[in-house]
């Protein structure tokens, strides 16, 4: 390392016009050496090709089995078009609690209210509300419908084992392709074979129309855990009438969560129940 520093110092002080041919050759060699030494650590790692469908499925199954409950904090950004064609954008702090692919929730801090926006998927049911807009909806998860909001558990589909909703899957390069048993919709799962995780999932209707794209990026090891979790999630939802809506989650902290019964009960209580409880006090 000291030799490299000395070489850099000498190069800066050399007068290029006065160099003989031999020194010019050495000069170029040193520049090349410094370039290689400096760039070696930032070269993109070549990921091995997945040998076959069985290996691809095993990669996703192993990752899904490794995930433990986590809590995360960060920022949510939403860009959407309403029924009148008007475009809106909003960014706000967000907190997430994750138990499993069927049970997780988000809360957003808007209008000086840390629970101004709430969303939860709770083992077959879901609810969502936006206090400033007076929105309060709930229902059952229905994977058979084209409407993305009928199956909000897709938000964390990157941790789901493909066996749960794939019929006769196939593998093309590092992409698992399958059709969902209930809806006949097509899904493509792009696997990062270096980190052994799903980095993108694309969803199509049975008419091959794009519906949703999820990109899971910046996988990092969870503190205290032996698994990776994405710190950046990007969602693109294609509405046939209003065009493309986007949401992005950037987490600056993802930690293991030791859920307690009372805490879980409070986090996943539906908004109507919360309001009722508040009015009774």
Tokens, residue 225: 């855990």
Q: Where are the domains of the chain?
A: 2-42, 53-280
pLDDT of residue 14: 40
Nearest partner of 200 among 210, 179, 215, judged by Cα: 215
Average pLDDT over the chain, rounded to whole? 78
Out of 4-13, 25-34, 99-108, 162-171, least confident range: 25-34
Instruction: Decide: residue 203, CB within 10 A, 0-12 exposed, 13-18 middle, 19+ buried.
Output: buried
Mean pLDDT of 170-179: 90
Mean pLDDT of 221-238: 92
Mean pLDDT of 206-216: 88
Helix axes 2-13, 21-39, angle to 10 degrees: 130
Whole-number Å distance between alpha carbons of 128 and 124: 14
Mean pLDDT of 91-99: 95
pTM score: 0.75
H-run or E-run covering 266: helix 261-267
Nearest partner of 213 among 251, 150, 158, 254, judged by Cα: 158
Instruction: Please tell us whether the domain made up of 53-280 is placed in CATH 1.10.150.120.
Output: no
Contact indicator for 141, 134 with CB cutoff of 8 Å = no
Q: How far is CA 78 from CA 83, 125, 245, 246, 281, in A?
A: 16, 23, 8, 6, 35
pLDDT of residue 144: 57
Nearest partner of 231 among 257, 255, 213, 202, judged by Cα: 255
| Residue entry with tokens 């698992």 | 176
Tokens, residue 190: 């792009």
- Those residues whose C-beta lies under 8 Å from the C-beta of residue 229, and which sit 6 or more positions away, are 67, 70, 72, 219, 220, 222, 254
Strand partners, 1: none
Contact indicator for 57, 169 with CB cutoff of 8 Å = yes
Q: Pick the residue with more confidence: 18 or 101?
A: 101
């Amino acid at each position: 390392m000291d030799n490299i520093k000395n070489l850099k110092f000498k190069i800066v002080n050399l007068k290029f016009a006065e160099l003989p041919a031999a020194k010019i050759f050495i000069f170029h060699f040193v520049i090349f050496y410094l370039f290689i030494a400096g760039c070696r650590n930032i070269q993109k790692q070549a990921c091995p090709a997945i040998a076959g469908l069985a290996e691809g499925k095993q990669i996703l199954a192993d990752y899904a089995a490794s995930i433990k409950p986590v809590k995360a904090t960060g920022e949510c950004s939403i860009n959407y078009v309403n029924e009148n064609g008007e475009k809106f954008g909003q960014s706000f702090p967000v907190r997430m609690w994750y138990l499993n692919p069927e049970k997780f929730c988000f809360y957003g801090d808007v209008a000086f209210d840390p629970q101004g926006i709430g969303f939860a998927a709770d083992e077959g049911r879901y609810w969502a509300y936006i206090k400033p807009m007076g929105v309060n909806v709930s229902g059952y998860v229905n994977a058979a419908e084209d409407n993305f909001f009928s199956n909000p558990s897709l938000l964390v589909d990157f941790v789901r084992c493909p066996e749960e909703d794939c019929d006769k899957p196939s593998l093309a390069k590092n992409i698992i392709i399958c059709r969902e048993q209930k809806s006949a919709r097509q899904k493509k799962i792009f696997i990062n074979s270096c980190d052994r995780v799903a980095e993108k999932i694309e969803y199509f209707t049975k008419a091959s129309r794009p519906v949703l794209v999820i990109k899971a990026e910046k996988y990092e090891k969870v503190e205290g855990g032996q698994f990776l979790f994405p710190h950046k999630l990007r969602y693109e939802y294609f509405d046939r009438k209003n065009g493309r809506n986007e949401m992005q989650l950037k987490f600056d902290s993802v930690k293991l969560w030791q859920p307690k019964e009372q805490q879980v009960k409070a986090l996943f209580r539906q908004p109507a129940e919360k309001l009722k409880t508040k009015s009774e006090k």
